[in-house]
Amino acid sequence: METHQVKTCFTITFTNEQYQHAVSYVEDMKKHPQRVYWRGKQGKTDDELVMEQIAHRILSGFYNHEPFQAAKHIVRMDAKTML
């Protein structure tokens, strides 16, 4: 199977509620160091982990209860094809 890569940068907005949820999630994950969650996250700061969690939830639809809800959070997207 042939695959391609795209490097993408998103500018997103988030609420205090989303931030607090992500902080709680990261704190919970710290209690479980053997979980798959930690693959590739070694050496990242708590702030980086929280921001990644917020972006992941927005981009994957966890915060999207209605169509086009993500558009309220995604302010900008820049992409570059990696050949």
Q: Where are the domains of the chain?
A: 5-82
Mean pLDDT of 64-74: 67
pLDDT for residue 52? 92
Reduced 3-state DSSP string for the chain: CCCCEEEEEEEECCCHHHHHHHHHHHHHHHCCCCCHHHCCCCCCCHHHHHHHHHHHHHHHCCCCCCCCHHHHCEEEEEEEEEC
pLDDT at 67 over 80: no
What rounded mean pLDDT belongs to the chain?
A: 84
pLDDT for residue 8? 82
Q: How confident is the model at residue 74 (pLDDT cuts 50, 70, 90)?
A: confident
pLDDT at 48 over 70: yes
